[in-house]
Chain A
Amino acid sequence: GAGVSQSPSNKVTEKGKDVELRCDPISGHTALYWYRQSLGQGLEFLIYFQGNSAPDKSGLPSDRFSAERTGGSVSTLTIQRTQQEDSAVYLCASSLGLLNSPLHFGNGTRLTVT
């Protein structure tokens, strides 16, 4: 079966440009998470969507970062006016949203800001 799909797999952009990263979760999964992973580091929580509830945006590092989830399925993470410190792998994960449901990750988008 299809897992979590992220696109693009790699993105190189110039400082100051906006970028959009896309995530297609596993069909039927109501919960969707975005994490950021810098080189050789752990996973930093960014934002969480659960069904139709308001998203938990507590992990977004600045107001340049935003995310949407349309129709309870596909999600887009947008970074405006990118900075070099935004360079990282952006990981999306989904889960059934039930108690004790594990996260299933995509392979991430590697973002490089030059």
Chain B
Amino acid sequence: GESVGLHLPTLSVQEGDNSIINCAYSNSASDYFIWYKQESGKGPQFIIDIRSNMDKRQGQRVTVLLNKTVKHLSLQIAATQPGDSAVYFCAEFTPYGQNFVFGPGTRLSVLP
């Protein structure tokens, strides 16, 4: 389940289960969203993106869902593996600012 750690919320899942990571974004004018994965000592790595004219997009083992009504984004990871353990960030692109705003991140911990 989810718990709030010292700095980041943490989601613990069993290996092989599906993971769902949630993100609330701030700006209703944001029109482009990205999920990033960050492993220890590395920069964020692109996973999947979605434009605001879509509500679902699928990749390899990952699905992103966008609910513009409630400004909510989620990342679903199928058959979670130990290599999926990392911190996951959502990012929204704000047209007026021309830059990406990142969420606080969620730490995914995959249990054997």
A contact residues, total (Cβ < 8 Å): 25
Nearest chain B CB to A70 CB, angstrom units: 21
- B51 surroundings in chain A (CB, below 8 A): 100
CA of A33 to CA of B91, assembled, Å: 14
Nearest chain B CB to A89 CB, angstrom units: 9
- A104 surroundings in chain B (CB, below 8 A): 46
A/B pair count, beta carbons within 8 Å: 58
- A60 surroundings in chain B (CB, below 8 A): none
If over half of A's interface residues share one DSSP class (helix, strand or loop), that class is named, otherwise mixed; here it is loop
B contact residues, total (Cβ < 8 Å): 26
Known: A39-B7, A42-B105. A103 touches B100 (CB 8 A): yes
Instruction: Report the stretch among B14-22, B37-45, B58-66, B68-76 that lies at the interface.
Output: B37-45
CA of A32 to CA of B4, assembled, Å: 33
Known: A40-B7, A102-B34. A56 touches B44 (CB 8 A): no
Known: A100-B49, A102-B49, A103-B100. A91 touches B43 (CB 8 A): yes
Asked whether, in the complex, the Cβ of A33 is within 8 Å of the Cβ of B99, the reply is yes
Q: Return the CB mask of A34-52 against B: 1 if under 8 Å, else 0.
A: 0100011111010010100
**Which residue of chain B lies nearest to A59 when distances are taken between CB atoms in the complex?**
B99
Q: Which B residues are closer than 8 A to A by beta carbons?
A: 6-8, 32, 34, 36, 41-46, 49, 51, 89, 91, 93, 97-105
Q: Which of A39, A102, A105 has the most CB of B within 10 A?
A: A102
Nearest chain A CB to B62 CB, angstrom units: 14
In the complex, given contacts A42-B105, A100-B49, A105-B43, what are 13 additional A-B residue pairs having Cβ atoms less than 8 angstroms apart?
A: A40-B6, A43-B89, A43-B102, A50-B98, A56-B98, A59-B99, A100-B51, A100-B93, A102-B46, A102-B49, A104-B46, A107-B43, A108-B42
Q: Which of A39, A91, A103, A108 has the most CB of B within 10 A?
A: A103
A-B contact pairs, 16 of them (CB 8 A): A4-B43, A33-B100, A40-B6, A40-B7, A43-B89, A48-B98, A56-B99, A99-B32, A100-B93, A102-B34, A102-B49, A103-B34, A103-B100, A106-B43, A107-B43, A108-B42
CA of A39 to CA of B99, assembled, Å: 22
